[in-house]
Amino acid sequence: MELSTVWFCLIAVLWMGYFVLEGFDFGVGMLLPVLARDERERRVMINTIGPIWDGNEVWVLTAGGATFAAFPEWYATLFSGFYLPLFFILIALIVRGVAFEYRHQRPGATWAGWWDRAVIIGSFVPALLWGVAFANIVYGVPIGADKDFSGNLLTLLHPFGILGGLVTLALFLTHGAMFVALKTEGDIRHRARALAVRLGMAAAVLAVVFLVWTQVHTGDLGSGILFVLGALALLGGLVAASFGREGWGFLGTFVCLLLAVAGLFVALFPDVMPSTTDPAYSLTTTNASATGYTLKVMTIIAAIFAPAVVVYQAWTYWVFRKRIAVHHLPTEELEHEGHTDHTGIQPDPGGVVS
Protein backbone atom coordinates (compact mmCIF):
# COMPACT_ATOMS: atom_id res chain seq x y z
CA MET A 1 0.00 0.00 0.00
CA GLU A 2 1.31 3.45 -0.90
CA LEU A 3 2.10 5.81 1.96
CA SER A 4 -0.33 8.39 0.55
CA THR A 5 -3.12 5.83 0.96
CA VAL A 6 -1.90 4.99 4.47
CA TRP A 7 -2.06 8.65 5.45
CA PHE A 8 -5.50 9.04 3.91
CA CYS A 9 -6.61 6.21 6.19
CA LEU A 10 -4.88 7.74 9.21
CA ILE A 11 -6.53 11.11 8.61
CA ALA A 12 -9.87 9.29 8.33
CA VAL A 13 -9.19 7.65 11.69
CA LEU A 14 -8.41 11.04 13.25
CA TRP A 15 -11.70 12.48 12.01
CA MET A 16 -13.55 9.39 13.20
CA GLY A 17 -12.03 9.87 16.66
CA TYR A 18 -12.90 13.55 16.65
CA PHE A 19 -16.53 13.04 15.70
CA VAL A 20 -17.22 10.26 18.21
CA LEU A 21 -15.45 12.04 21.10
CA GLU A 22 -16.09 15.72 20.49
CA GLY A 23 -19.55 14.83 19.21
CA PHE A 24 -20.95 14.12 22.66
CA ASP A 25 -19.17 17.23 23.99
CA PHE A 26 -21.09 19.33 21.50
CA GLY A 27 -24.29 17.49 22.36
CA VAL A 28 -23.90 18.13 26.08
CA GLY A 29 -23.25 21.82 25.44
CA MET A 30 -26.29 22.24 23.19
CA LEU A 31 -28.55 20.39 25.63
CA LEU A 32 -27.57 22.54 28.61
CA PRO A 33 -30.84 24.57 28.60
CA VAL A 34 -32.96 21.53 27.71
CA LEU A 35 -31.94 18.93 30.28
CA ALA A 36 -30.86 21.06 33.24
CA ARG A 37 -33.65 22.43 35.44
CA ASP A 38 -31.47 24.58 37.72
CA GLU A 39 -27.91 25.74 38.31
CA ARG A 40 -26.85 22.58 40.10
CA GLU A 41 -27.94 20.36 37.20
CA ARG A 42 -26.17 22.65 34.74
CA ARG A 43 -23.02 22.21 36.78
CA VAL A 44 -23.48 18.45 36.76
CA MET A 45 -23.76 18.46 32.95
CA ILE A 46 -20.67 20.60 32.51
CA ASN A 47 -18.76 18.44 34.98
CA THR A 48 -19.48 15.32 32.91
CA ILE A 49 -17.19 16.69 30.19
CA GLY A 50 -14.99 18.89 32.40
CA PRO A 51 -11.83 16.74 32.36
CA ILE A 52 -12.08 15.52 28.76
CA TRP A 53 -13.45 18.17 26.39
CA ASP A 54 -10.08 19.83 25.74
CA GLY A 55 -8.40 16.47 25.15
CA ASN A 56 -11.09 15.60 22.61
CA GLU A 57 -10.24 18.72 20.61
CA VAL A 58 -6.69 17.46 20.12
CA TRP A 59 -8.05 15.08 17.49
CA VAL A 60 -9.10 17.88 15.14
CA LEU A 61 -5.81 19.74 15.65
CA THR A 62 -3.91 16.58 14.78
CA ALA A 63 -6.15 15.93 11.77
CA GLY A 64 -5.51 19.44 10.48
CA GLY A 65 -1.78 19.15 11.02
CA ALA A 66 -1.62 15.73 9.37
CA THR A 67 -3.55 17.03 6.36
CA PHE A 68 -1.18 19.99 6.04
CA ALA A 69 1.90 17.76 6.12
CA ALA A 70 0.65 14.74 4.17
CA PHE A 71 -1.61 16.43 1.60
CA PRO A 72 -0.56 20.10 1.23
CA GLU A 73 -2.61 20.61 -1.93
CA TRP A 74 -5.72 19.28 -0.18
CA TYR A 75 -5.05 21.49 2.82
CA ALA A 76 -4.53 24.61 0.70
CA THR A 77 -7.68 24.12 -1.37
CA LEU A 78 -9.79 23.10 1.63
CA PHE A 79 -8.78 25.94 3.92
CA SER A 80 -9.02 28.58 1.21
CA GLY A 81 -12.35 27.41 -0.18
CA PHE A 82 -13.91 26.71 3.22
CA TYR A 83 -12.32 29.71 4.91
CA LEU A 84 -15.49 31.30 6.33
CA PRO A 85 -17.09 28.10 7.71
CA LEU A 86 -13.78 27.05 9.27
CA PHE A 87 -13.30 30.54 10.67
CA PHE A 88 -16.75 30.42 12.29
CA ILE A 89 -15.93 26.98 13.72
CA LEU A 90 -12.63 28.26 15.13
CA ILE A 91 -14.26 31.27 16.79
CA ALA A 92 -17.01 29.07 18.22
CA LEU A 93 -14.47 26.62 19.67
CA ILE A 94 -12.49 29.47 21.24
CA VAL A 95 -15.61 31.03 22.79
CA ARG A 96 -16.74 27.63 24.05
CA GLY A 97 -13.39 26.90 25.66
CA VAL A 98 -13.27 30.29 27.33
CA ALA A 99 -16.81 29.77 28.62
CA PHE A 100 -15.87 26.50 30.31
CA GLU A 101 -12.98 28.21 32.09
CA TYR A 102 -14.69 31.49 33.04
CA ARG A 103 -18.16 30.31 33.97
CA HIS A 104 -17.24 29.56 37.58
CA GLN A 105 -14.96 32.53 38.15
CA ARG A 106 -17.71 34.74 39.59
CA PRO A 107 -20.98 34.03 41.41
CA GLY A 108 -24.33 35.22 40.14
CA ALA A 109 -26.97 34.01 37.72
CA THR A 110 -26.26 36.73 35.14
CA TRP A 111 -22.57 35.91 34.84
CA ALA A 112 -23.18 32.15 34.55
CA GLY A 113 -26.08 32.69 32.17
CA TRP A 114 -23.99 34.59 29.62
CA TRP A 115 -21.28 31.94 29.66
CA ASP A 116 -23.93 29.21 29.36
CA ARG A 117 -25.10 30.91 26.17
CA ALA A 118 -21.51 30.91 24.93
CA VAL A 119 -21.28 27.16 25.60
CA ILE A 120 -24.54 26.53 23.73
CA ILE A 121 -23.61 28.64 20.69
CA GLY A 122 -20.02 27.42 20.74
CA SER A 123 -21.31 23.85 20.57
CA PHE A 124 -24.08 24.46 18.02
CA VAL A 125 -22.00 26.21 15.37
CA PRO A 126 -19.34 23.49 14.95
CA ALA A 127 -21.93 20.69 15.20
CA LEU A 128 -23.77 22.18 12.23
CA LEU A 129 -20.87 23.46 10.12
CA TRP A 130 -18.71 20.34 10.36
CA GLY A 131 -21.55 18.44 8.70
CA VAL A 132 -21.89 21.08 5.99
CA ALA A 133 -18.14 20.96 5.35
CA PHE A 134 -17.89 17.18 5.13
CA ALA A 135 -20.97 16.92 2.95
CA ASN A 136 -19.36 19.31 0.47
CA ILE A 137 -16.04 17.48 0.56
CA VAL A 138 -17.75 14.22 -0.35
CA TYR A 139 -20.20 15.73 -2.85
CA GLY A 140 -17.59 17.85 -4.61
CA VAL A 141 -16.92 21.56 -5.03
CA PRO A 142 -15.94 23.75 -7.99
CA ILE A 143 -12.18 23.32 -8.43
CA GLY A 144 -10.34 24.62 -11.48
CA ALA A 145 -7.28 23.38 -13.33
CA ASP A 146 -5.08 25.41 -10.95
CA LYS A 147 -6.52 23.42 -7.99
CA ASP A 148 -8.18 26.54 -6.59
CA PHE A 149 -11.72 26.63 -5.19
CA SER A 150 -13.82 28.90 -7.44
CA GLY A 151 -17.02 29.12 -5.39
CA ASN A 152 -18.13 31.11 -2.35
CA LEU A 153 -19.97 30.54 0.92
CA LEU A 154 -23.33 30.16 -0.83
CA THR A 155 -21.82 27.47 -3.04
CA LEU A 156 -21.54 25.27 0.05
CA LEU A 157 -25.14 25.83 1.18
CA HIS A 158 -26.89 23.56 -1.29
CA PRO A 159 -29.49 20.98 -0.13
CA PHE A 160 -26.96 18.17 0.29
CA GLY A 161 -24.63 20.37 2.33
CA ILE A 162 -27.41 21.66 4.56
CA LEU A 163 -28.69 18.11 5.08
CA GLY A 164 -25.19 17.06 6.11
CA GLY A 165 -25.16 19.80 8.73
CA LEU A 166 -28.54 18.76 10.09
CA VAL A 167 -27.39 15.13 10.30
CA THR A 168 -24.30 15.91 12.39
CA LEU A 169 -26.36 18.27 14.52
CA ALA A 170 -28.99 15.62 15.24
CA LEU A 171 -26.47 12.83 15.80
CA PHE A 172 -24.37 14.94 18.17
CA LEU A 173 -27.46 15.89 20.16
CA THR A 174 -28.39 12.21 20.46
CA HIS A 175 -24.82 11.24 21.32
CA GLY A 176 -24.66 13.98 23.96
CA ALA A 177 -27.95 12.97 25.56
CA MET A 178 -26.73 9.37 25.71
CA PHE A 179 -23.54 10.53 27.39
CA VAL A 180 -25.40 12.56 30.00
CA ALA A 181 -27.61 9.54 30.73
CA LEU A 182 -24.50 7.38 31.05
CA LYS A 183 -22.61 9.77 33.33
CA THR A 184 -25.26 11.07 35.72
CA GLU A 185 -27.65 9.86 38.40
CA GLY A 186 -31.13 10.90 39.45
CA ASP A 187 -33.78 12.79 37.50
CA ILE A 188 -31.40 14.25 34.93
CA ARG A 189 -30.31 10.75 33.97
CA HIS A 190 -33.87 9.67 33.23
CA ARG A 191 -34.67 12.85 31.31
CA ALA A 192 -31.50 12.48 29.23
CA ARG A 193 -32.25 8.86 28.39
CA ALA A 194 -35.80 9.63 27.27
CA LEU A 195 -34.65 12.61 25.23
CA ALA A 196 -31.88 10.56 23.60
CA VAL A 197 -34.44 8.09 22.26
CA ARG A 198 -36.64 10.86 20.84
CA LEU A 199 -33.72 12.72 19.30
CA GLY A 200 -32.31 9.48 17.97
CA MET A 201 -35.43 8.71 15.97
CA ALA A 202 -35.24 12.08 14.23
CA ALA A 203 -31.49 11.66 13.71
CA ALA A 204 -32.05 8.19 12.21
CA VAL A 205 -34.45 9.56 9.58
CA LEU A 206 -32.10 12.39 8.60
CA ALA A 207 -29.06 10.09 8.58
CA VAL A 208 -30.72 7.47 6.40
CA VAL A 209 -31.74 10.08 3.81
CA PHE A 210 -28.26 11.59 3.80
CA LEU A 211 -26.40 8.28 3.60
CA VAL A 212 -28.65 6.94 0.83
CA TRP A 213 -28.10 10.18 -1.11
CA THR A 214 -24.33 9.85 -0.57
CA GLN A 215 -24.35 6.22 -1.64
CA VAL A 216 -26.25 6.99 -4.83
CA HIS A 217 -24.01 9.96 -5.66
CA THR A 218 -20.54 8.58 -5.00
CA GLY A 219 -20.70 5.42 -2.88
CA ASP A 220 -19.50 1.90 -3.54
CA LEU A 221 -19.98 -1.51 -1.91
CA GLY A 222 -17.63 -0.75 0.97
CA SER A 223 -19.30 2.53 1.90
CA GLY A 224 -22.73 0.97 1.55
CA ILE A 225 -21.87 -1.80 4.02
CA LEU A 226 -20.49 0.73 6.51
CA PHE A 227 -23.57 2.94 6.18
CA VAL A 228 -25.94 0.02 6.79
CA LEU A 229 -23.96 -1.15 9.82
CA GLY A 230 -23.90 2.40 11.18
CA ALA A 231 -27.68 2.71 10.85
CA LEU A 232 -28.16 -0.63 12.60
CA ALA A 233 -25.84 0.46 15.41
CA LEU A 234 -27.89 3.62 15.95
CA LEU A 235 -31.17 1.72 16.02
CA GLY A 236 -29.71 -0.88 18.37
CA GLY A 237 -28.49 1.87 20.69
CA LEU A 238 -31.91 3.51 20.76
CA VAL A 239 -33.59 0.20 21.59
CA ALA A 240 -31.08 -0.43 24.37
CA ALA A 241 -31.60 3.06 25.81
CA SER A 242 -35.36 2.62 25.78
CA PHE A 243 -34.85 -0.39 28.09
CA GLY A 244 -32.64 1.63 30.43
CA ARG A 245 -29.28 0.37 29.14
CA GLU A 246 -27.42 3.66 28.76
CA GLY A 247 -24.04 2.00 28.26
CA TRP A 248 -25.23 0.03 25.25
CA GLY A 249 -27.13 3.08 24.03
CA PHE A 250 -24.00 5.21 24.10
CA LEU A 251 -22.05 2.44 22.38
CA GLY A 252 -24.68 2.44 19.63
CA THR A 253 -24.34 6.16 18.88
CA PHE A 254 -20.56 5.86 19.21
CA VAL A 255 -20.35 3.07 16.63
CA CYS A 256 -22.89 4.80 14.38
CA LEU A 257 -20.76 7.94 14.12
CA LEU A 258 -17.59 5.89 13.74
CA LEU A 259 -18.96 3.85 10.83
CA ALA A 260 -20.72 6.80 9.18
CA VAL A 261 -17.53 8.86 9.02
CA ALA A 262 -15.57 5.80 7.85
CA GLY A 263 -18.16 5.29 5.12
CA LEU A 264 -17.81 8.89 3.95
CA PHE A 265 -14.06 8.49 3.56
CA VAL A 266 -14.49 5.17 1.75
CA ALA A 267 -16.98 6.84 -0.61
CA LEU A 268 -14.51 9.70 -1.14
CA PHE A 269 -11.43 7.59 -1.91
CA PRO A 270 -9.26 7.91 -4.00
CA ASP A 271 -10.32 11.55 -4.24
CA VAL A 272 -9.71 13.91 -1.36
CA MET A 273 -11.70 16.75 -2.92
CA PRO A 274 -13.75 15.95 -6.05
CA SER A 275 -14.19 18.74 -8.59
CA THR A 276 -17.67 19.50 -9.88
CA THR A 277 -16.14 21.63 -12.63
CA ASP A 278 -14.32 18.73 -14.28
CA PRO A 279 -13.46 15.33 -12.76
CA ALA A 280 -9.98 15.72 -14.22
CA TYR A 281 -9.39 18.64 -11.81
CA SER A 282 -10.22 16.59 -8.70
CA LEU A 283 -7.63 16.35 -5.95
CA THR A 284 -6.66 12.77 -5.22
CA THR A 285 -4.41 10.94 -2.78
CA THR A 286 -1.81 10.92 -5.55
CA ASN A 287 -1.76 14.45 -6.95
CA ALA A 288 -2.37 16.18 -3.61
CA SER A 289 0.15 14.30 -1.45
CA ALA A 290 3.51 15.39 -0.10
CA THR A 291 6.79 13.83 -1.16
CA GLY A 292 7.59 10.24 -0.31
CA TYR A 293 10.32 11.29 2.11
CA THR A 294 7.94 13.54 4.03
CA LEU A 295 5.42 10.73 4.35
CA LYS A 296 8.11 8.32 5.57
CA VAL A 297 9.24 10.72 8.30
CA MET A 298 5.65 11.37 9.35
CA THR A 299 4.94 7.65 9.52
CA ILE A 300 7.87 7.08 11.89
CA ILE A 301 6.78 9.96 14.14
CA ALA A 302 3.18 8.77 14.18
CA ALA A 303 4.21 5.20 15.03
CA ILE A 304 6.12 6.48 18.07
CA PHE A 305 3.80 9.10 19.53
CA ALA A 306 0.26 8.13 18.45
CA PRO A 307 0.00 5.06 20.72
CA ALA A 308 1.15 7.12 23.72
CA VAL A 309 -1.52 9.75 23.08
CA VAL A 310 -4.25 7.11 22.72
CA VAL A 311 -3.17 5.35 25.92
CA TYR A 312 -3.10 8.63 27.85
CA GLN A 313 -6.58 9.63 26.70
CA ALA A 314 -7.94 6.16 27.47
CA TRP A 315 -6.46 6.45 30.95
CA THR A 316 -8.18 9.84 31.40
CA TYR A 317 -11.56 8.34 30.54
CA TRP A 318 -10.94 5.47 32.94
CA VAL A 319 -10.05 7.80 35.83
CA PHE A 320 -13.21 9.87 35.34
CA ARG A 321 -15.53 6.96 34.54
CA LYS A 322 -17.90 7.25 37.53
CA ARG A 323 -21.32 8.82 37.45
CA ILE A 324 -21.91 12.18 39.11
CA ALA A 325 -25.05 13.73 40.54
CA VAL A 326 -26.33 16.85 42.24
CA HIS A 327 -25.52 15.50 45.70
CA HIS A 328 -21.83 15.32 44.75
CA LEU A 329 -21.63 19.10 44.40
CA PRO A 330 -20.51 21.42 47.24
CA THR A 331 -23.34 23.53 48.68
CA GLU A 332 -21.57 26.02 50.94
CA GLU A 333 -22.69 29.61 50.54
CA LEU A 334 -20.13 32.35 50.03
CA GLU A 335 -21.45 34.56 52.79
CA HIS A 336 -17.94 35.25 54.03
CA GLU A 337 -17.29 36.94 50.66
CA GLY A 338 -20.48 38.94 50.89
CA HIS A 339 -22.33 37.46 47.90
CA THR A 340 -24.08 34.34 46.64
CA ASP A 341 -25.71 33.36 43.39
CA HIS A 342 -29.46 32.92 42.96
CA THR A 343 -29.36 29.36 44.29
CA GLY A 344 -26.96 29.98 47.13
CA ILE A 345 -24.57 27.42 45.67
CA GLN A 346 -20.82 27.80 45.57
CA PRO A 347 -19.61 28.43 42.00
CA ASP A 348 -18.38 25.41 40.10
CA PRO A 349 -14.69 24.87 40.93
CA GLY A 350 -14.11 23.44 37.48
CA GLY A 351 -13.60 19.86 36.36
CA VAL A 352 -15.48 16.93 37.78
CA VAL A 353 -16.49 16.68 41.38
CA SER A 354 -15.82 13.18 42.60
The predicted-structure confidence for 80-107, as pLDDT tens digits, reads as follows 889 999 999 999 999 999 998 888 888 8
Q: Pairing state of beta strands 283-284 and 271-273? A: antiparallel
The SS3 call for residue 12 is helix
Tell me whether the omega of the peptide bond preceding residue 159 falls within 30 degrees of 0, making it cis: no
pLDDT at residue number 331:
60
Counting every residue written for the chain, the total comes to: 354
- Which residue ranges of the chain lie beneath pLDDT 50? 332-354
The residues that bridge with 324 in the sheet, in sequence order, are 184
pLDDT at residue number 107:
80
Q: Where are the domains of the chain?
A: 3-337
pTM of the model: 0.89
pLDDT at residue number 74:
93
pLDDT at residue number 235:
95
Own/partner pairs, 251-255, CB within 8 angstroms, 24+ separation: 252/178, 253/24, 253/171, 253/174, 253/175, 253/178, 253/196, 253/200, 254/20, 254/175, 255/229, 255/230
Which uninterrupted H or E stretch holds 283?
A: strand 283-284
Q: Are 237 and 252 in contact (CB under 8 A)?
A: yes
pLDDT at residue number 337:
34
CA-CA-CA-CA torsion for 155, 159, 160, 166, nearest 10 degrees?
110
